[in-house]
Structure 1
Amino acid sequence: MGKLKLYTNSFFDELRHRQDILADDAVSALIRNPEWIELINTWDSIPSELPSSFSPELKEYFGFYEKKKVLVDENSLTGGQRFFDKNGELYLAMLGFYALPYCYAFADGAQVLVRSKRILENVGERLGETASFVMDIFEPGAFFQKGKAYLTCSKVRLIHAFSRYFILHYAKDWNPAFGQPVNQEDMLGTNLAFSFIVLRGLTKLGFQPSEDEYRDVLKYWKWIGELMGIDVSFWPETSKESFELDKLIRKRHLKSSEAGQKLLDSLILNYRSTIPDPLINQQVERLLFFFLGKEASAALGLKASRKLPGNLLGLMFTFLGWKNFGGKKGYAHIRQTMETQQKSQFGRVLTIRLPELNRT
């Protein structure tokens, strides 16, 4: 049975009310000492010696990552890094056109996302930051030769905790029926979107990841999940377990919501404004429909045909810099291309930064 026996409503009802105490305590300390946020944003990696002024909560939080550095299993990560090095261009494409909009179709989790003005008003930057996150964690040698990815994961985990803090303290319209904001179930679902759903997208494009490749990618995201504060005892290890976990979460939460539709509308507007080719501009909804399928598309108010012009996907990915998307360009080329595009569009390379608070 493996993990399948864990995929029940009773277990996941409980996960819906669990969050991440270690990160939440660290954010409480950062709220009280906003100058520490500014300091952390200057780091290139987590220092081996933390500032003596840091509170016990913050020292414990970053100490968690120092312990993980000792425990990392290089053999468990190399397969996932090889897969990304081989398929990174398509991997990023599937994040933008499948995994992220797929998350919007899950109504209760979308309630957190829609409360971030940056996601609705600066969607291009948010997409760029997501790409930077993925490039950091899949860098060859990340976690066992290079330490930057630990800092990246620690920042994203804290950003989740900041979201929880501000929603619980300031969002008067938060409905307890949504569950706790950024809870364990939603974090599992997001991790699954960034792994299993990406692989399913590759299958939709005609590629067929092997079971070994599924295991390599899932093993990689299990490690990421540990670093992001997820209870990985529920994490799938095979394509079958991934399918059943996605099936359970779909049954529980895939439904129409104003929040999800707002998020998708913002994403579509961004794609239309950044893709100059009029043919592609006219086909964005159909492209998203192709990946999302009827059920998720209906939840997002997306109406289109599954039929696409034969070369549309190639045109779309070519424009986005993923030329010859079936080729083996490798991590270094993808990173260079991404950073060049970000400098052109935003005037800088986008990085993960903690939200700096206004101090009066």
Structure 2
Amino acid sequence: MSKLKLYQNIEFDHLRTLQDPLADQLVKVLVKYPELITQVNSWAEIPNEIEDSYPPAFQAFFNFYLEQKELPEEILAQGQRLFDQKGDLYLAMLGFYSLPYAYAFGDGAEVLVRSKRILNDIGRRLGETGTFILDIFEPGAFLTKKKAFLTCAKVRLIHAFSRYFISHYSYDWNEAFGKPINQEDLIGTNLSFSLIVIRGWKKMGFNVSSEEVSLIMQYWKWVGRLMGIQEKYWPDNPKEAFALEKLIRKRHLKSTTAGHLLIQALISYYKSSIADPLISSQVEPILYFFLGKEAAKALNIQSSIPINGELLGLVFKFSGWKTYGSVKGYAQIARQNESNQIALFGEKLEIKLPRLNRS
């Protein structure tokens, strides 16, 4: 059955009331027993067996990952080969299209702006996003290298921590925003990391086959499953993907103070940190090109400089060549990413659950 029938306001109004019970129940336990956070952060991967001595919510959450036996092996292998070929362009689209696009969706931006780290430590947050992407697209991820399961589990729990802190301490939260990091927000974020990347490539004139579109969407269906997203609503084909994104865009694209704060922090960071002057000197025009008139207006991005998509594609390719060399496969991208993180932050960035202090 086509999922187009599901893409209705009444369905997605309901999704704004739904979160992620499996992760949310565990976070309540982790807040009570923060020593478990330290233990999870010390893992290299999820242990093969979760002992009965752990609290039930802890067992249920991590056993969910251990029970994933039927892996989409061919999808995973093909998706990782695609990233090996286009990883630099994938990461570029996350920074210049996916994340800014998410900021234009007002209600979801209200969650992001309440994370002071995004505004005050944006470089580290962007670095952690890069770590997440590199973990889930590493050759062998989920198949022979099980760290990717732990990475997804941690990001899922970080979302749950955000929900917990907002519900307990953010007294200005408006119920009209929906539940914090609800199912619609999670689906929208997954789309921004998949469909929007594809759209960015096409805007630059790169050829993207229907097989590659299907592959990326199926890859993120798997990741979405591990992130607690209800698969019932995830599109099965490009037509459904476009319809889903259009619905969410019509529902939530709007100008908000939260979105303006987030995009200005991002722009300032790019201008001060991107070494390539061809890119750092044209941040607003590039963002305007990818976002389009409507989303750019919502974020108060203005530009009178026209951008030629094919020329921009060459700029990004040249930038990738300068950064990663002529052989820019996964290994080189990962090595350079680690080197950059050590230079900027004094360490390789890992996905870690927030450390809590007992009151």
Bigger Cα displacement from structure 2, 116-125 vs 335-344: 335-344
Report sequence identity in percent: 56
User: Contact 2:285–2:305 (CA<8 Å) still a contact in 1?
Assistant: yes
Task: Find the aligned partners of 2:280 and 2:99 in 1 and give their Cα distance.
Answer: 19
Give yes or no for the alignment of 1:22 onto 2:22. yes
Bigger Cα displacement from structure 2, 167-176 vs 269-278: 269-278
Alignment match, 1:154: 153
Counterparts in 2 of 1:327 and 1:212: CA distance versus 1, 3 Å:
farther
Three-state SS of the structure 2 residue aligned to 1:172 is coil
Please state how far the C-alpha of 1:308 moved relative to its aligned partner.
2.9
Counterparts in 2 of 1:75 and 1:280: CA distance versus 1, 3 Å:
closer
Alignment match, 2:329: 330
Counterparts in 2 of 1:235 and 1:327: CA distance versus 1, 3 Å:
farther
User: Contact 2:98–2:192 (CA<8 Å) still a contact in 1?
Assistant: yes
Alignment match, 2:39: 39
Task: Find the aligned partners of 2:316 and 2:346 in 1 and give their Cα distance.
Answer: 23
User: Contact 1:90–1:325 (CA<8 Å) still a contact in 2?
Assistant: no
Alignment match, 2:8: 8
Q: Structure 2 counterpart of 1:135, which letter?
A: L
Three-state SS of the structure 2 residue aligned to 1:71 is coil
Bigger Cα displacement from structure 2, 73-82 vs 305-314: 305-314
Q: Structure 1 counterpart of 2:30, which letter?
A: L
Give yes or no for the alignment of 1:168 onto 2:175. no
User: Contact 2:204–2:312 (CA<8 Å) still a contact in 1?
Assistant: no
User: Contact 1:86–1:328 (CA<8 Å) still a contact in 2?
Assistant: no
1:102-148 residue CA offsets vs partner (Å, 9 max, x unmatched): 00000000000000000000100011000000000001111111100
Please state how far the C-alpha of 1:277 moved relative to its aligned partner.
5.4
Task: Find the aligned partners of 2:317 and 2:305 in 1 and give their Cα distance.
Answer: 18
Task: Find the aligned partners of 1:304 and 1:186 in 2 and give their Cα distance.
Answer: 29
Please state how far the C-alpha of 1:279 moved relative to its aligned partner.
5.5
- What do you get for the CA RMSD once the two structures are aligned? 1.9
User: Contact 2:106–2:256 (CA<8 Å) still a contact in 1?
Assistant: yes
Task: Find the aligned partners of 1:297 and 1:62 in 2 and give their Cα distance.
Answer: 40
TM-score, normalised relative to structure 1: 0.95
Q: Structure 2 counterpart of 1:261, which letter?
A: H
1:283-315 residue CA offsets vs partner (Å, 9 max, x unmatched): 111111110010000000111136137856655
User: Contact 2:324–2:336 (CA<8 Å) still a contact in 1?
Assistant: no
Please state how far the C-alpha of 1:62 moved relative to its aligned partner.
0.3
Give yes or no for the alignment of 1:111 onto 2:110. yes
Structural mapping, 1:336-355, within 5 Å: 336-355=335-354
1:301-351 residue CA offsets vs partner (Å, 9 max, x unmatched): 1111361378566556655x5548997622111111111111111111111
Counterparts in 2 of 1:51 and 1:121: CA distance versus 1, 3 Å:
farther
Counterparts in 2 of 1:284 and 1:238: CA distance versus 1, 3 Å:
same
Structural mapping, 1:1-360, within 5 Å: 2-68=2-68, 70-276=69-275, 280-305=279-304, 307-308=306-307, 314-315=314-315, 318=318, 321=320, 323=322, 329-360=328-359
Q: Structure 2 counterpart of 1:344, which letter?
A: A
Task: Find the aligned partners of 2:39 and 2:324 in 1 and give their Cα distance.
Answer: 39
1:136-179 residue CA offsets vs partner (Å, 9 max, x unmatched): 00011111111000000000000000000000111000000000
Please state how far the C-alpha of 1:79 moved relative to its aligned partner.
2.1
User: Contact 2:87–2:330 (CA<8 Å) still a contact in 1?
Assistant: yes
Counterparts in 2 of 1:198 and 1:231: CA distance versus 1, 3 Å:
same
Structure 2 unaligned blocks of 5 or more? none
Q: Structure 2 counterpart of 1:102, which letter?
A: Y
User: Contact 1:84–1:91 (CA<8 Å) still a contact in 2?
Assistant: yes
Q: Structure 1 counterpart of 2:93, which letter?
A: M
Bigger Cα displacement from structure 2, 204-213 vs 303-312: 303-312
Structure 1 unaligned blocks of 5 or more? none
Three-state SS of the structure 2 residue aligned to 1:236 is coil
User: Contact 1:103–1:190 (CA<8 Å) still a contact in 2?
Assistant: yes
Please state how far the C-alpha of 1:240 moved relative to its aligned partner.
1.4
User: Contact 2:16–2:178 (CA<8 Å) still a contact in 1?
Assistant: yes
Aligned length: 358
User: Contact 1:289–1:306 (CA<8 Å) still a contact in 2?
Assistant: no
Task: Find the aligned partners of 1:330 and 1:196 in 2 and give their Cα distance.
Answer: 22
Please state how far the C-alpha of 1:76 moved relative to its aligned partner.
2.8
Q: Structure 1 counterpart of 2:268, which letter?
A: L
User: Contact 1:167–1:174 (CA<8 Å) still a contact in 2?
Assistant: yes
Please state how far the C-alpha of 1:239 moved relative to its aligned partner.
1.6
User: Contact 2:89–2:316 (CA<8 Å) still a contact in 1?
Assistant: no
